[in-house]
Amino acid sequence: MSLVFAIFTPVIAALLIPLLYKRVSAIHTGWFVLLIPVALVSLYATYIPPIIDGTTYKDELPWIPSLGLSFISYLDGLSLLFSLLITGIGALVVLYSIFYLDKKKEKLGNFYVYLLLFMSAMLGVVQSDHLISLYFFWELTSISSFLLIGYWYTKDRSRFGALKSMMITVFGGLMMLGGFVILGILGDTYSIRELIAQAPDLVDHKFFVWALVLVLLGAFTKSAQFPFYIWLPDAMEAPTPVSAYLHSATMVKAGLYLVARFTPIFALSEVWVWLVTGIGILTLLWGSFFAVKQTDLKAILAFSTVSQLGLIMSLLGIGSIAYHVTGDLVTTFTFATFAAIFHLMNHATFKGSLFMIAGIVDHETGTRDIRKLGGLMSLMPISFTIALIGSLSMAGVPPFNGFLSKEMFLDAVLNLKNFDLHALDSWWILFPIIAWIASVFTFVYSLYFVFHTFRGKHKPEQLPKAAHEAPVGMLLSPGILASLVVIIFFVPNFFGNTFIKPAVAAIQPLAYQVPADVGFTIKAWHGFDSLAMYMTLGVFLVGYLLFKTIPKWSPIYKTFPTKLSLNGMYDGLMRLGDSGANRFSSIYMTGSIRSYFVYMFTAIIVLLGGTMWIKDAFVISYENLAPIRFFEILISIILIVGTITILVTKSRLTAIIALGAVGYTVALFYILFKAPDLALTQLVIETVSVALFLGAFYHLPQMNKHEKGKEDRGFRLGNFLIALGVGVMVTLIAISSHSQKLIPSISEYYKETVYSEAGGGNIVNVILVDYRGFDTLFEISVLTIASLGIIGMITLRLAKKKGDRKVENK
């Protein structure tokens, strides 16, 4: 199967979902959807052996060949790992949603269409080798996630969360596009592979750092880095399958993928090292600290996701130092990249299972409020076991995979002492300190999540539903992920050699030419001389004490005013913008069409007249002018008289007749200038218009004061000046454009090619159908849409209350 076709397979399948949803109602739609990610993960699994050996695959589908745009799928170790996560976790999420979403209550057709659209978008992001196609898929993830987050669109919070996530991520995407354009100009190519090869030559360009910062804005917004993380907690209003998929394994990992993929290009700049490492470690601390403050299970997981994403981001930043050192230090810092990819995979397993368990608790108890929960361990023992495994892995406790990558993270920040930070070598100690503090709070919120939910006193009186264990089908997906958490701990090097090393080789091509050269071994025990081990023991001890004393120190969160928080400032800015826009628009949005015409005509005078004046473009030439004939003067006089009649008459009937006379006079001009097609069109339009005006005006009320000519002098003077200004401006522009033709008229090309190239005898028809075919097509489309609207208005039945009686208008 073509790799490009594999990317679009979910979208193609999504086209069939509405048909299946309506016609096969006896079977849950998810069973049909499940076939897509299962087939794709099976396909990508076949690429594992050759990619371990260093083989890469490229597939191309032309998109806009004239602009050099193509969908280019490039599969290496990094894109393969992400593709397996997208399809593998996707299959488990679909399986979970089959039991989580009620087919009788939910609009499953919409849900699975959005989910498959998102899956295609993510596959496109991680496999694109062309910057523009990568941006296309990037924004498609924002759109599809907006639809998924706002799936329960009747809820205010769902709509708010969806809009918030889209506002922030689309902003980052636009910034990223600017960075892509700069890169494309600097390297004279939009191929990521070719840009990587040119990286040493690009780094000294004055716009290189601008491209770097803009690309990072896209990555930071998508991966919820500080200060852009505020959209992620609000996105928890989405159904739990969406949270488990988008916010643990896929969408929020897109920014991490972007940083990893562009590391070979930007890592040569120390700005990249500082920004990625610094923002990552800050996000880790910020997210872990505020996770303990939350009372909603999914909110706890949202902030924990923010902190874990920050951890991975900081590791990618530390790993990029490998481009600034030599010798053994290259291996030392590449170790951080290895740890980043390893933790990225581990995070997908334990966080996916935890999101699903949060959904199960909500599904079986009717609430996610941790203050109302407790004592569920005996009622939901399987759920408790899965939650315990995922939480302890997130806390970095053995024997779970999170412990392995967390130890590697601590080793990586300790290795910063080997990097010369330009006379700031003593500052490196801040990173291990921040990492340790963040790890303490990670330990606290992990225990907080599982034990406050499943241990303690049971409160059945506060639960909307009687708590009970979830059905086996709903437990299957989180159970598989929890099993992987344990399996990876005991055989980590199998996963390291199979998935992590090829990915690291793709991120560090200057350090390692083939995957076999990436020589790291994952070990659970590093000996008593390992400082990371003592840091971990300190995390366990201090973290446990803080967990047991949460009620005593948690009031510290009340010292942070909500209005001064980043989230509060965003909400305030949106409210201010909304109210300000309403006040401003109320000034000019008067509801009067006359006023709107005044705005438009005034803008024409000012903008066009100003431009012509500044550019000194007013030129009048009397050369090549045709002589003015008697008939043309006569028709012009009739035209002027008809127009003045419309303005001064006090009778609607007279105004309509004069308007028709103006239209028919224009048709005479077309005939004189040998344009019978236009004349015929004008005559038809005028005939229909006059008939419609007569029919409509018959039902209008008496003329108002404006129509009777009783307006005040200022009003009439203003209209006169605007009308005169527009008329003069259009006349001057027409004369100036005729007097100074910078390029030959396109009419000559039409005359020369209308028969030889287009094969037509009527030049007007050929222009409309061939040369301006798209223009005509769009005009037809507009008329079609308008016709459908008119048909809808005619056939619409509106029920209006009139006293106690209902009247239907047809």
Same structural domain for residues 488 and 365? yes
* Residue 382 counted as domain residue: yes
Helices (H), strands (E): how many in the chain?
Answer: 34, 4
**Is the confidence at residue 251, as pLDDT, over 60?**
yes
CA 40 – CA 124 distance, rounded (Å): 13
CA 584 – CA 570 distance, rounded (Å): 21
* Residue 262 counted as domain residue: no
Q: Give the rounded distance of the alpha carbon of 232 from its chain centre.
A: 13
C-beta of residue 478 within 8 angstroms of C-beta of residue 294? no
Q: For 305-314, 339-348, 630-639, 771-780, which range has the lowest pLDDT when averaged over its residues?
A: 771-780
Q: For 86-95, 553-562, 633-642, 710-719, which range has the lowest pLDDT when averaged over its residues?
A: 710-719
Phi, psi torsion values for 103, nearest 5 degrees: -70, -20
Same structural domain for residues 752 and 797? no
Burial class (CB in 10 A: 0-12, 13-18, 19+), 756: exposed
CA 575 – CA 313 distance, rounded (Å): 32
DSSP 499: I
| Interval 469-481: pLDDT, tens | 999 999 999 999 9
More confident residue, 718 or 467: 467
Q: Identify the domain containing residue 42 by its residue range.
A: 1-190+235-249
**Is the confidence at residue 803, as pLDDT, over 50?**
no
Burial class (CB in 10 A: 0-12, 13-18, 19+), 435: buried
How many CA atoms lie within 13 Å of 398's alpha carbon, on the beta-carbon side? Answer: 11
| pLDDT at site 515 | 41
Q: Per-residue pLDDT averaged across 437-450, rounded?
A: 97
CA 467 – CA 331 distance, rounded (Å): 52
Q: pLDDT-based confidence at 693, cuts 50/70/90?
A: confident
CA 98 – CA 480 distance, rounded (Å): 16
**Is the confidence at residue 708, as pLDDT, over 60?**
no
CA 225 – CA 335 distance, rounded (Å): 23
* Residue 75 counted as domain residue: yes
- Angle, alpha carbons 384-89-276 (nearest 5°): 100
**The dihedral of CA 158, 163, 166, 172: what is its sign?**
negative
> What are the residues whose beta carbons fall under 8 Å from the beta carbon of 625, sequence distance 6 or more?
none
C-beta of residue 303 within 8 angstroms of C-beta of residue 294? yes
More confident residue, 643 or 526: 643
Q: pLDDT-based confidence at 385, cuts 50/70/90?
A: very high
CA 517 – CA 560 distance, rounded (Å): 49
* Residue 52 counted as domain residue: yes
The pair of structure tokens assigned to 669 is 């001009």
Same structural domain for residues 38 and 175? yes
Q: pLDDT-based confidence at 104, cuts 50/70/90?
A: confident
CA 541 – CA 439 distance, rounded (Å): 12
| pLDDT at site 306 | 96
**Is the confidence at residue 91, as pLDDT, over 60?**
yes
CATH number of the domain to which 668 belongs: 1.20.120
The pair of structure tokens assigned to 442 is 């990670």
- What does each C-alpha distance from 313 to 34, 69, 224, 318 come to in angstroms? 32, 31, 11, 9
Same structural domain for residues 295 and 367? yes
How big is the chain, counted in residues? 810
| pLDDT at site 681 | 82
Four-point Cα dihedral 148, 152, 155, 158, nearest 10 = -10
Same structural domain for residues 403 and 279? yes
Q: Per-residue pLDDT averaged across 191-213, rounded?
A: 93
Q: For 99-113, 373-387, 448-462, 533-547, which range has the lowest pLDDT when averaged over its residues?
A: 99-113
Say how many domains are in the chain.
Answer: 4
762, 781, 799 — which closes off a domain? 762
Helix axes of 593-603 and 713-739: crossing angle, nearest 10 degrees: 40
- What does each C-alpha distance from 799 to 788, 794, 807, 810 come to in angstroms? 21, 14, 6, 10
CA 246 – CA 169 distance, rounded (Å): 13
Same structural domain for residues 687 and 787? no
CA 287 – CA 295 distance, rounded (Å): 15
C-beta of residue 381 within 8 angstroms of C-beta of residue 373? no
Which residues partner with 801 through β-bridges? 806
- What does each C-alpha distance from 44 to 40, 704, 775 come to in angstroms? 6, 73, 43
| pLDDT at site 581 | 80
Phi, psi torsion values for 59, nearest 5 degrees: -135, 145
More confident residue, 664 or 762: 664
* Residue 261 counted as domain residue: no
Q: pLDDT-based confidence at 736, cuts 50/70/90?
A: confident
**The dihedral of CA 651, 655, 657, 658: what is its sign?**
positive
| pLDDT at site 50 | 95
- Which of the residue ranges 107-111, 370-374, 618-622, 781-785 has the most confident prediction, judged by mean pLDDT? 370-374
| Interval 422-440: pLDDT, tens | 545 667 788 999 999 999 9
Burial class (CB in 10 A: 0-12, 13-18, 19+), 339: buried
Same structural domain for residues 315 and 345? yes
> What are the residues whose beta carbons fall under 8 Å from the beta carbon of 91, sequence distance 6 or more?
34, 37, 38, 41
More confident residue, 768 or 339: 339
Q: For 216-225, 483-492, 637-646, which range has the lowest pLDDT when averaged over its residues?
A: 637-646
CA 688 – CA 695 distance, rounded (Å): 11
DSSP 743: S
- CA-wise closest residue to 194 among 265, 138, 123, 134: 265
Buried b (16+ CB within 10 A) or exposed e, 63-87: beeeeeebbbbbbbbbbbbbbbbbb
| pLDDT at site 703 | 58
Count the neighbouring beta carbons within 10 Å of the beta carbon of residue 388. 20
More confident residue, 140 or 527: 140
Same structural domain for residues 424 and 543? yes
DSSP 46: T
Buried b (16+ CB within 10 A) or exposed e, 88-103: bbbbbbbbbbbbbbee
Q: Per-residue pLDDT averaged across 499-523, rounded?
A: 72
806: left (phi over 0), alpha (psi -120 to 50) or beta: beta
**Is the confidence at residue 702, as pLDDT, over 70?**
no
Same structural domain for residues 681 and 723? yes
C-beta of residue 70 within 8 angstroms of C-beta of residue 137? no
Phi, psi torsion values for 669, nearest 5 degrees: -60, -45
Count the neighbouring beta carbons within 10 Å of the beta carbon of residue 574. 14
CA 385 – CA 475 distance, rounded (Å): 11
Q: pLDDT-based confidence at 695, cuts 50/70/90?
A: confident
Look up the pTM and report it: 0.81
- CA-wise closest residue to 501 among 522, 482, 487: 522
CA 412 – CA 339 distance, rounded (Å): 8
| Interval 642-680: pLDDT, tens | 988 988 887 888 888 898 899 999 999 888 888 887 788
| pLDDT at site 676 | 82
| Interval 124-179: pLDDT, tens | 999 999 999 999 999 999 999 999 999 998 888 899 999 999 999 999 999 999 99
- CA-wise closest residue to 439 among 289, 230, 336: 289
Q: With pLDDT > 90 as the criterion, what percentage of the chain qualifies?
A: 55
DSSP state string for 213-263: HHHHHHHHHHTT-TTGGGHHHHGGGS-HHHHHHHTTTSHHHHHHHHHHHHH
* Residue 478 counted as domain residue: yes
* Residue 575 counted as domain residue: no
| pLDDT at site 808 | 42
Same structural domain for residues 407 and 507? yes
C-beta of residue 301 within 8 angstroms of C-beta of residue 354? yes
Tell me the three state secondary structure of residue 51. helix
| Interval 11-50: pLDDT, tens | 999 998 888 877 777 788 899 999 999 999 999 999 999 9
C-beta of residue 135 within 8 angstroms of C-beta of residue 176? yes
Same structural domain for residues 240 and 298? no
**Is the confidence at residue 564, as pLDDT, over 70?**
no
C-beta of residue 139 within 8 angstroms of C-beta of residue 173? yes
| pLDDT at site 6 | 94
For residue 501, the one-letter residue type is K
| Interval 272-289: pLDDT, tens | 999 999 999 999 999 999
Q: pLDDT-based confidence at 805, cuts 50/70/90?
A: very low
C-beta of residue 250 within 8 angstroms of C-beta of residue 93? no
What mean pLDDT, rounded, does the chain reach?
88
Q: Per-residue pLDDT averaged across 556-582, rounded?
A: 78
C-beta of residue 324 within 8 angstroms of C-beta of residue 273? yes
**Is the confidence at residue 298, as pLDDT, over 50?**
yes
**Is the confidence at residue 804, as pLDDT, over 70?**
no
| pLDDT at site 810 | 38
| pLDDT at site 519 | 64
CA 112 – CA 114 distance, rounded (Å): 5
| pLDDT at site 513 | 42
For residue 261, the one-letter residue type is R
Helix (H) or strand (E) holding 64: strand 57-64
**Is the confidence at residue 511, as pLDDT, over 60?**
no
| pLDDT at site 66 | 78
**The dihedral of CA 115, 116, 117, 123: what is its sign?**
positive
CA 311 – CA 340 distance, rounded (Å): 8
| pLDDT at site 760 | 79
* Residue 213 counted as domain residue: no
CA 92 – CA 38 distance, rounded (Å): 9
Q: pLDDT-based confidence at 807, cuts 50/70/90?
A: very low
Same structural domain for residues 744 and 785? no
Q: With pLDDT > 70 as the criterion, what percentage of the chain qualifies?
A: 94
| pLDDT at site 73 | 93
